[in-house]
């Protein structure tokens, strides 16, 4: 008998249809993945199993867990089930734990709630060890732990009562690749050794491909295809599945580089941050975020910068943009320093633009597109005469219509907003663009389109850019050269293809090994 059997589950929230006839099956000890892009209904399916749907939800169909239809259970019965036979792990380990309670209290709480036969303290130590945190004091607070450790604690809470089914909703999306690999290994190990069913919800096909026995692909609230992983990967049937695979493995076609003299020269840059004083009169001490970093970007060069969170990527970016002073070394753009006399050098600043990660937070919602994308004009000594023509050109260049100039940002999708962000960067024809995790928040198919757009613009404008990302496959597809950063140092640099095919530094090797890869399939 299946552990979980969802049949014809439909869901509407305040009258809007969210799920259509979703069916899904999972056996004990099995790993089943649900995948799809944002808005496909995969998280709602998980919440329907937990019966933690938002207010105003109406569900039809059955969700049979271990012989019981959870849609028919009372709230009190569901409370007995949740955390006991049904555990759930969420996406954001940084916020999924109560910041004012110790981790021991939070793990012990589930035990006290459901398992009076167990000693909460002893069980807490046991599950901490089980999730690879043996010896971690249960009296520690979440803020004292790293993201990976916190996710382990969240998993410990979920498995504390020995659930039959564990639901993991994007459990590694917020984590670095090496941490992601460890957490995925842990989840699979728990499923195999404890005979738990694991329902894995993720947008990342490469993650799915490595661990799931079966995959269910969802689109717009409906299951479009489901099957055994090897079969589905080698011969996807549904056009959407094929498109998803194609987008995941997408390689943007960069035009041949035309490289010239160096445009950006970074020389032995050091950036220190003062640490809090430990005593009243003691020296505060410093943290070296960027440690003697040197590299060049030639005019027309497309350079990637990869590394895990906390490696100094963002600090280096801020220094390049002239937002902060550096303690030693120099950063020159076109021979001129980016930061001088205590403030960013405006002559240089107008030659650089940046595209940020979050297409939602980086626009003032009350401004129209025409005003948003012309913001960089403030950097020019006098605003250009042909303002409207420049707006139309920038919008056309990024695949939008000049008519969009009078719209507000909320009228655009995430991918379109990222196009707007690129239009904003292009409008003053900068010599250098910094893409700071510019495609990380996007779905795979949108990401593929934006990467194609960047490649196209490379040909039209002979762009020079620094592309910062934690996603190795993206960097591989969109850059000619790559820098690998660890603990504030550049540990490896070289032509992108050389570094990826034959990494020399052990850290680069670890990164590349840890990154999940989608098996190459024939999607034609």
Partner 1 sequence: MLRYTFKRLLSLLISLAIASLVIFMVIEVAPGDPASFMLGINAQEDTLAALRAELGLDQSKLQRYLGWVGGMVQGDFGTSYQYRTPVSQMIADRLWVSLPLALYALALSTLIAFPAGIYAASRRGKAGDIGVMGATQIGVAIPNFWFAMMLVLIFAINLRWFSAGGFAGWDKGAFAALKSLTLPAIALALPQAAILARVMRSALLDVLGEDFMRTARAKGLTKGQALRRHGLRNAMIPVLTILGLQFSFLLAGGIIIEQVFYLPGLGRLIFQSISARDLIVVESVTMLLVFAVIVVNFAVDLAYAAVDPRLRART
Residues that bind partner 1 (CB under 8 A): 50, 52, 75-76, 79-84, 87-88, 90, 92, 95-101, 106, 109-110, 113-114, 141, 143-144, 154, 157-158, 276
How near is the Cβ of 137 to partner 1 at its closest, in Å?
A: 13
CB 120 → partner 1: shortest distance, Å?
A: 13
Q: How far is the CB of 279 from partner 1 (least distance, A)?
A: 9
First-to-last alpha carbon distance for the chain, in angstroms, is 37
CB of 283 to partner 1, least distance (A): 16
Q: Which stretches of 27-146 are DSSP H helices?
A: 42-50, 75-81, 103-114, 120-130
Checking 183-191 for CB contacts under 8 A at 24+ apart, the result is: 183/148, 183/151, 183/152, 183/155, 184/210, 184/211, 184/516, 186/131, 186/132, 186/152, 186/155, 187/31, 187/89, 187/155, 187/211, 188/31, 190/130, 190/155, 190/159, 190/166, 191/29, 191/30, 191/31, 191/166
Residue closer to partner 1 by CB (options 154, 453) is 154
* Shortest CB 83 distance to partner 1, Å: 3
Nearest to 306 by CA among 165, 428, 450, 476: 476
In whole angstroms, what is the distance from residue 359 CA to residue 417 CA? 5
Is the separation of the CB atoms in 408 and 365 below 8 Å? yes
Task: Kindly tell me which of 197 and 322 has the beta carbon lying closer to partner 1.
Answer: 197
* Exposure string over 307-317, b if 16+ CB within 10 A, otherwise e: bbeebbbbbbb
Please name the helix (run of DSSP H) or strand (run of DSSP E) that holds residue 388, with its range, or none.
Answer: helix 387-397
Task: Enumerate the H helices of 195-249 as residue ranges.
Answer: 205-211, 229-234, 239-248
Cβ(86)–Cβ(50) below 8 Å:
yes
Cβ proximity to partner 1, 98 vs 501, nearer residue: 98
Query: Rounded to the nearest whole angstrom, what is the least distance from the CB of residue 223 to partner 1 in the complex?
Result: 24
Distance in Å, CB of 169 to partner 1, minimum: 10
- Within a 10 A sphere around the Cβ of 79, how many other Cβ atoms? 14
DSSP-based helix, strand, coil % in the chain, nearest 5? 35, 25, 35
Q: How many CB atoms lie within 10 A of CB 57?
A: 17
Of 277 and 387, CB closest to partner 1: 277
Nearer to partner 1 by Cβ, of 69 and 144: the residue is 144
Q: At closest approach, how far in Å is the CB of 26 from partner 1?
A: 18
Q: Are 172 and 147 in contact (CB under 8 A)?
A: no
Cβ-based nearer residue to partner 1, 161 or 331: 161
Residue 19: phi, psi to the nearest 5? -120, 140
Instruction: Tell me how far apart the alpha carbons of residues 305 and 74 are, in angstroms, rounded to a whole number.
Output: 52
Q: Smallest gap, in angstroms, from Cβ of residue 84 to partner 1?
A: 6
Closest to partner 1 by CB, 157 or 482: 157
Q: What angle do CA 490, 339, 464 make, to 5 degrees?
A: 55
Residue 20 CB, shortest distance to partner 1, in Å, is 25
3-state SS, residue 390: helix
Distance of CA 40 to the CA centre of its chain: 17
* Minimum CB distance to partner 1, residue 170 (Å): 12
Nearer to partner 1, 87 or 236 (CB): 87
Distance between CA atoms of residues 66 and 230, nearest Å: 27
Question: 478, 455 in Cβ contact below 8 A?
Answer: yes
CB of 95 to partner 1, least distance (A): 4
Non-local (6+) Cβ contacts of 56 within 8 A are 13, 14
Q: Which is nearer to partner 1, 50 or 247 (CB)?
A: 50
CA distance 387 to 154: 52
Pick 3 or 338: Cβ nearer partner 1: 3
Nearer to partner 1, 147 or 307 (CB): 147
CB of 272 to partner 1, least distance (A): 20
């Amino acid at each position: 008998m299946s552990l979980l059997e969802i049949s014809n589950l439909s869901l509407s929230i305040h009258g809007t249809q969210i799920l259509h006839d979703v069916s899904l099956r999972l056996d004990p000890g099995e790993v089943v993945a649900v995948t799809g892009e944002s808005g496909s209904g995969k998280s709602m399916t998980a919440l329907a199993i937990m019966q933690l749907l938002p207010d105003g939800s109406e569900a039809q169909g059955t969700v049979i867990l271990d012989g019981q239809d959870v849609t028919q259970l009372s709230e009190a019965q569901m409370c007995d089930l949740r955390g006991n036979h049904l555990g759930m792990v969420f996406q954001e380990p940084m916020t999924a734990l109560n910041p004012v309670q110790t981790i021991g209290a939070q793990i012990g709480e589930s035990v006290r709630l459901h398992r009076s036969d167990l000693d909460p303290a002893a069980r807490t130590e046991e599950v901490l060890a089980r999730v690879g945190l043996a010896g971690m004091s249960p009296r520690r607070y979440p803020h004292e732990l790293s993201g990976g450790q916190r996710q382990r604690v969240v998993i410990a809470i979920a498995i504390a009562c020995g659930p039959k089914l564990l639901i993991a909703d994007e459990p590694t999306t917020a984590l670095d690749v090496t941490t992601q690999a460890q957490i995925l290994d842990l989840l699979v190990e728990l499923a195999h050794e404890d005979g738990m069913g694991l329902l894995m919800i993720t947008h990342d096909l490469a993650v799915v491909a490595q661990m799931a026995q079966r995959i269910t692909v969802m689109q717009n609230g409906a299951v479009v295809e489901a099957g055994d992983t090897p079969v589905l990967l080698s011969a996807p049937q549904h056009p959407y599945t094929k498109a998803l695979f194609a987008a995941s493995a997408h390689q943007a076609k960069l035009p041949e580089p035309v490289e010239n003299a160096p445009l950006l020269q970074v020389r032995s840059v050091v950036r220190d941050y003062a640490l809090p004083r430990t005593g009243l009169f003691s020296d505060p001490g410093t943290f070296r975020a960027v440690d003697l970093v040197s590299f060049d970007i030639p005019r027309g060069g497309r350079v990637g910068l990869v590394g895990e969170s906390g490696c100094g990527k963002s600090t280096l970016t801020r220094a390049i943009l002239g937002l902060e002073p550096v303690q030693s070394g120099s950063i020159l753009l076109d021979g001129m320093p980016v930061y001088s006399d205590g403030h960013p050098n405006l002559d240089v600043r107008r030659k650089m633009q940046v595209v940020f990660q979050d297409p939602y937070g980086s626009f003032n919602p009350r401004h129209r597109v025409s005003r948003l994308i012309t913001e960089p004009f403030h950097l020019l000594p006098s605003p250009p005469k042909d303002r409207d023509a420049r707006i139309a050109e920038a919008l056309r260049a990024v695949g939008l219509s000049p008519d969009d100039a009078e719209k507000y940002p909320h009228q655009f999708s995430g991918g379109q907003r990222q196009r707007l962000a690129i239009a904003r960067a292009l409008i003053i024809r900068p010599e250098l663009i910094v893409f700071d995790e510019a495609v990380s928040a996007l779905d795979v198919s949108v990401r593929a389109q934006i990467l194609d757009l960047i490649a196209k613009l490379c040909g039209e404008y002979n762009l020079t850019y620094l592309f910062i990302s934690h996603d190795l496959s993206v960097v591989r597809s969109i850059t000619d050269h790559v820098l690998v950063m660890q603990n504030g140092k550049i540990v490896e640099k070289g032509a992108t293809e050389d570094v990826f095919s034959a990494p020399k530094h052990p850290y680069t090797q670890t990164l590349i090994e840890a990154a999940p890869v989608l098996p190459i399939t024939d999607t034609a």
